[in-house]
Structure 1
Amino acid sequence: MTHHNKVMLLGHSDTYTQDKNMQVTIAFNHFGEGLVQRMPRCRHGYFHVVNNDYTHWEMYAIGGSAAPTINSQGNRFLAPNDNTFKEVTKREDTPKSKWKNWNWRSNGDLMLNGAFFTSSGAGASSSYARASSLAAKPSSLVGSITSSAGSLKCRKGSRC
């Protein structure tokens, strides 16, 4: 993915609490140049962000509101050169007194060029064990895992 402001929004709204049952895996993507934010932005639910390659962002990479659980594993984060945007994470419109209890963690992620992930919550809790959808590969393999990421090259009359 390249050249988008708002890349991926998961969850209807902060007030739509039925999304608490949502379980989403974001895996094997290359988030490249010209991306600003929401890779993804999560509302409610459980999100397993695994083995993605983040080589550019202009505001933040992973964000959320409405107390989502975020499990980031085996990703590679290359922060932009602008010191203002080294943080991978962003909690939307929520004071620290509330988001400090949200379960967000980074496990096995590779942080480059000053990138950092702000963890919160109880750490390794049952909310992580309940829905990990696949085992993360080491972050050192992300380049090769995502090397063919992108849109399908389909032609009319041929199988994709």
Structure 2
Amino acid sequence: MLLGHDDGFLRDKGMKGYAHVTNNLYQGWEQYAIGGSMSPSIKSESNYFIAPKSGKKEVTWRNGIYEKSKPWNFYSVGDLFTNGASFFQSGRRGTARPNYTKEQSFKVGDAKSVKALTSSAGALKCSRTLRC
């Protein structure tokens, strides 16, 4: 999951900062599971990370140069890490907060339930008898 393209991409200049990534199953990534550019604030909450057997175990990736005036705020709350997966937290924990209205707020499931929550997620499996 890449939040932003790169610091030189004109359309990303308008990105304003906050992403709340929750209740996802990440497994078998090649470079990263969650990445960002343009100094985003990312709160990873109750996600399940299963690192690949070989290769990169680090979950996060940052594109661009870290600027002290625009700190990267990547932090993890209640995530589950297996097979050596790790999360590099940066910035001040808790500084990235949603500005949800009452209608936008939602209950976050426990990371242990993510496999069950996502068991039917993904692309449709199409066949000759099932048109997509």
Superposed CA RMSD in Å reads 2.8
1:49 shift after superposition: 0.9
- Please, which of 84, 92, 98 is the counterpart of residue 122 of structure 1? 92
**The structure with more helix, counted as a fraction of residues:** 1
Structure 2 equivalent of residue 14 of structure 1 = 7
Name segments (4+ residues, structure 1) moved above 3 Å. 8-13, 97-100
Identity of matched residues, %: 49
Runs of 5+ unmatched residues, structure 1: 1-7, 21-44, 155-159
Mapped contact 1:64–1:91 kept (Cα < 8 A):
yes
**Unaligned stretches of 5+ residues in structure 2:** 127-131
**Kept after mapping to 2: 8 A contact 1:77/1:112:** yes
Alignment of 1:7-156 (within 5 A): 9-11=2-4, 13-15=6-8, 16=10, 17-20=13-16, 45-82=17-54, 84-95=55-66, 98=68, 101-125=71-95, 127-131=96-100, 133-152=105-124
- Work out which of the two has the higher radius of gyration on C-alpha atoms and give 1 or 2: 2
1:99-158 CA-partner distances (Å, limit 9, x unpaired): 992111100000001101111111112x3142485332100000100000023578xxxx
User: Number of matched residues?
Assistant: 123
3-state SS of 1:54 partner: strand
Contact 2:3 2:35 in 1 (8 A): no
TM-score under structure 1 length normalisation: 0.65
Post-superposition offset of 1:94: 2.4
Q: Higher strand share goes to which structure?
A: 1
Measure, in 2, the Cα distance between the counterparts of 1:55 and 1:99.
Answer: 33
Q: Distance in 1 between matches of 2:26 and 2:89?
A: 18
Conserved 8 A contact 1:101-1:121: yes
